[in-house]
Amino acid sequence: MQPPPIPQPPQVAAAVAAVAVSHPSSLSPHTQQQPHPSVAMLQADGKQELPGVEEVEDYDYESLPKNTSLTSNLMAGAFAGIMEHTVMYPVDAIKTRMQVVSVTNAGYTGISNAISRISATEGARALWRGITSVAIGAGPAHAVYFSCYEFTKNAFGGNEGTGYHPIATSFAGACATIASDALMNPFDVIKQRMQLAGSRFPNIAACAASIYRNEGFSAFYISYPTTLFMNIPLTALNFTTYEALSKLLNPHHRYDPLTHCVAGGLAGAVAAAATTPMDVIKTFLQTKGTSQDTEIRSARSLADAARIIYQREGLPGFLRGLRPRIISNMPSTAICWTSYEMAKFYLYKSW
């Protein structure tokens, strides 16, 4: 005859119940044969909460909840965009100068050489000239970018199951690019005009007014088709590479800043290298208004710019600024993705 079970306080009973559900083999045969009423109740209904036991939630933050507000997506995207564009801004300024077809901007042998020469002749502040334009434009543009991406990816089944959905991801990235570039393009034109050597604009308002007065409103969007030709494949490569690496390095979809940073950096490097020729053409079109060369100033399209670059510099001309572009894009994309995933994670928890 076995002795009767010793009565247990509710807290102890709850703890025993939790152990029984997660590790049933750890209990004694007697306990397994005669489970505590709390255990039987929990086994009958897996969703019932136990008194005194706090449930630990495993966040699947890869996409925000379906009922997440548009404001949450906008906030996450804006935070990521500002972080991406401001941290590596000096390297982006050097890339712009290397890409411009002009004698006064040529001659940099590398990034360190460019930094030392610009700092010595124009002051270190010249490397940050135009950053206000990016700070103002990047927040709204990236808010639209990531909101459109999340909405489109979810609409086309990119968040279904645990598998990889490259078509849905690529299409969502392309839609996001078209929307965000329409907003960001004028700010990018102003930024590059202020990054050039000899720029005398005191602020972005003066630069914008000068461009509009001398070249008209179309100057703010003359590079928009080229920007789309560059950014649509760049975004597709960026998102698909990032999603693939994230699923490989983080198969359980947990918040892991190191994984997001590595996946984002590698995705940014691949995308930047592959789209450098289009970036050279975009810079040509956005800065041609400052040139004294009649042929350069008369260029009106992607084809005109590509023809002039090829005639004057050959195929190597399309790789101008490749190294600073990769060096700038790799950490900035890593920062962007890490910031975005962090914002998503904390917005998920607070929702």
DSSP line for 189-234: HHHHHHHSTT---SSHHHHHHHHHHHH-GGGGTTTHHHHHHHHHHH
AA letter at 327: I
Contact 231, 181 (CB under 8 A): yes
| Per-residue pLDDT tens digits of the chain, which is 351 residues long | 555 555 555 444 444 444 444 444 444 444 444 555 544 444 444 444 445 444 444 444 444 455 555 666 667 767 777 777 777 888 899 999 888 866 444 567 788 888 888 899 888 899 999 999 988 888 888 888 878 888 888 888 877 766 667 788 878 888 888 999 999 999 999 999 999 988 889 999 999 999 999 999 999 999 999 999 898 888 778 888 888 898 888 888 788 888 989 999 999 999 999 999 999 999 999 999 888 889 999 998 999 999 999 999 999 999 999 999 998 889 888 888 888 788 777 766 665
The pLDDT value recorded for residue 87 is: 77
The answer to whether position 317 is within a domain reads: yes
Tally of CB atoms within 10 A around 317: 19
Q: Cβ neighbours of residue 215 under 8 Å, at least 6 residues apart?
A: 289
* Whether residues 141 and 164 fall in one domain: yes
* Whether residues 52 and 76 fall in one domain: no
* Whether residues 153 and 43 fall in one domain: no
Contact 234, 275 (CB under 8 A): yes
Segments forming the whole domain that contains residue 1: 1-56
In the structure encoding, which two tokens stand for residue 191, read together? Answer: 């930024």
* Whether residues 48 and 84 fall in one domain: no
Distance CA 18, CA 118 (A): 65
Report the CATH number that the domain containing residue 251 is assigned in CATH.
1.50.40.10
From 9, 33, 56, give the residue that closes a domain.
56
* Whether residues 31 and 76 fall in one domain: no
The answer to whether position 61 is within a domain reads: no
The answer to whether position 40 is within a domain reads: yes
Q: How far is CA 330 from CA 170, 242, 251, in A?
A: 19, 12, 23
From 15, 34, 56, give the residue that closes a domain.
56
Q: If we measure between CA atoms, which residue out of 9, 36, 136 comes closest to residue 85?
A: 136
Mean pLDDT of the chain: 78
The answer to whether position 20 is within a domain reads: yes
* Whether residues 169 and 238 fall in one domain: yes
* Whether residues 101 and 247 fall in one domain: yes
Q: How far is CA 250 from CA 30, 109, 126, 256, 267, in A?
A: 41, 39, 41, 8, 15
Distance CA 345, CA 54 (A): 20
Distance CA 206, CA 210 (A): 6
What is the pTM for the complete model shown? 0.68
Instruction: For the chain, give the number of residues.
Output: 351
* Whether residues 8 and 39 fall in one domain: yes
The pLDDT value recorded for residue 336 is: 80
The answer to whether position 64 is within a domain reads: no
The pLDDT value recorded for residue 255 is: 82
* Whether residues 302 and 202 fall in one domain: yes
* Whether residues 181 and 298 fall in one domain: yes
The answer to whether position 184 is within a domain reads: yes
* Whether residues 19 and 85 fall in one domain: no
Q: If we measure between CA atoms, which residue out of 321, 281, 315 comes closest to residue 300?
A: 281
The answer to whether position 234 is within a domain reads: yes
- What total of structural domains would you count in the chain? 2
The answer to whether position 218 is within a domain reads: yes
* Whether residues 124 and 173 fall in one domain: yes
